[in-house]
Amino acid sequence: MSLLDETIAAVAPRDPAAERAARERLDRMTKPPGSLGVLEDVAAQLAGTAGACPPPLPVPAAVAVFAGDHGVHAQGVTLWPQEVTAQMVANFAAGGAVVNAFAAQLGADVVVVDVGVAAPSGPAPGLWDRNVRRGTADLAEGPAMTPDEARRAVEVGIEVATALAADHGCLVTGDMGITNTTASAALVCAFTGAAPAEATGRGTGVDDPTLARKVAVVERALARLDGERDPLTVLAEVGGLEHAALAGFVLGAAAARVPVVLDGVIAGSAALVAAALCPPALEHALAGHVSAEPGHALALRHLGLRPLLGLDLRLGEGTGALLASPLVASAARALADVATFDSAGVTEKA
Ligand SMILES: O=C(O)c1ccc[n+]([C@@H]2O[C@H](COP(=O)([O-])O)[C@@H](O)[C@H]2O)c1
Ligand SMILES: Cc1cc2nc[nH]c2cc1C
């Protein structure tokens, strides 16, 4: 059996008994019932994922920034040169990016995974060289990668999640890839049925003519897909290597029963692939935020995930998900630490 098949077979749904115990405890805690709002759902979900109430605290967090390049760059769908992907990989490894600043503030670890960068990256601490191919082919003209490459990139994500889950309580998705919002839009359309004009946005901030080219490219890619539904085929046709690895990362976290916090539209579109491959995997995922890229909200709605934050971020790198990780940890901490009406001698409402 392949690592992908083994991982899918290892994913179980959340434990309903642990989740029920969490809901009961939340109602006995010294607070009005339901007053922690969405964080009560988060706490119960964490108990269901761990199969224990209270669940272990989801700390420390580790963000894995999966980096890849895209042949569709040739279509003029972004204003940034492709080499910025490799340059940002070096910046992450040197600790100089926004994700590094947020991780330092929050006590999280950062690993950078080259799964598909066009230019070879030199060795650096915290940089994992798992390059499957040096950038995808142009998804406007033909398949972005072969099904075998897609599977190998998914398995990179599984491998990274499995390794990080050994000594982290919370996994956080990150990405870097100039042009990857075009591939994200195509994946969102393929899996949700959304129209390209609805799902395609300005990415890093493209102008009107570039946005129009982007929509046309997504339309062409979808026409070629012709309603194809097989998740790995769709991924190989219109996805990116970092999308593939992120889908594997979600599956690997679920198999390890560790919560995974999703970042923006790249993670959201990759999660659509993971959900199509293995629906119960998404029971262990949380949406850290909703990004400004329109395809992201469409993906989250399709997945039934409610974002924890809405800050109009559109950076990627895992930044929005990292900012949400203390909320996730606080929900677990409250479930573990807060006294009950009985234990604290607080009178309940009439
Ligand atoms: O996370 C998001 O939702 C998000 C939205 C817009 C842009 N990005 C980041 O910007 C890059 C892709 O933008 P673009 O315009 O080149 O497709 C890539 O490195 C992403 O991490 C990320
Ligand atoms: C500078 C820069 C940093 C990024 N981080 C994630 N995506 C990015 C895109 C650009 C262009």
Q: Is the pLDDT of residue 151 over 90?
A: yes
Active-site annotation holder among 19, 40, 242, 317:
317
Dist CA 91 CA 67 (whole Å): 12
Cα 3 to middle of ligand 1, angstroms: 29
* Domain ranges, ordered by start, for the chain: 3-56+334-344, 61-326
The whole-angstrom separation of Cα 123 and Cα 200 is 35
Instruction: Return the structure tokens found at 180.
Output: 């990857």
Distance separating alpha carbons of residues 44 and 57, to the nearest angstrom: 13
Structurally, what CATH architecture does the domain formed by 3-56+334-344 represent? Orthogonal Bundle (1.10)
Indicate the CATH number for domain 61-326.
Answer: 3.40.50.10210
Assess whether the previous peptide bond of 60 is cis (omega < 30° from 0): yes
Atom of ligand 1 nearest to the CA of 320: 1
In contact, 307 and 285? CB cutoff 8 Å = no
Q: Which letter does DSSP use for residue 5 in this model?
A: H
* Rounded Cα–Cα distance for residues 181 and 165 (Å): 28
pLDDT confidence of residue 131: 98
pLDDT at 121 exceeding the cut of 90: no
Hunting for tokens 């964490």 — which residue is that? Answer: 46
What per-residue confidence (pLDDT) applies to 167? Answer: 98
Question: Are 223 and 143 spatial neighbours (Cβ–Cβ below 8 Å)?
Answer: no
Q: What is the DSSP secondary-structure string of 286-304?
A: EEEE--SSHHHHHHHHHHT
SS (H, E, C) 94-124: HCCCHHHHHHHHHCCEEEEEEEECCCCCCCC
Out of 179, 263, 266, mutate this one to test ligand 1's pocket (max ligand atoms within 8 Å of CB): namely 266
What number is the ipTM of this complex? 0.99
In angstroms, the CA 261 to CA 327 distance is 11
Q: Is the CB of 179 under 6 A from ligand 1?
A: yes
Residue with tokens 């019932």: 33
Decide whether 3-56+334-344 matches 61-326 in CATH topology: no
76 three-state secondary structure: coil
Over 90: is that where the pLDDT of 68 sits? Answer: yes
- pLDDT tens column, 169-224: 999 999 999 999 999 999 999 999 999 999 999 999 999 999 999 999 999 999 99
| Pairwise CA distance, residues 303 & 230, whole Å | 17
- Taking the centre of ligand 2 as the mean of its atom positions, its distance from the CA of residue 181, in whole angstroms, is 12
Mutate to test the pocket of ligand 1, among 66, 83, 204 (most ligand atoms within 8 A of CB): 204
Whether residue 54 is preceded by a cis peptide bond, meaning omega within 30 degrees of 0, is yes
Is the model's pLDDT at 122 over the cut of 90? no
Q: Summarize pLDDT for 7-64 with one digit per residue, the tens.
A: 999 999 999 999 999 999 999 999 999 999 999 999 999 999 999 999 999 999 999 9
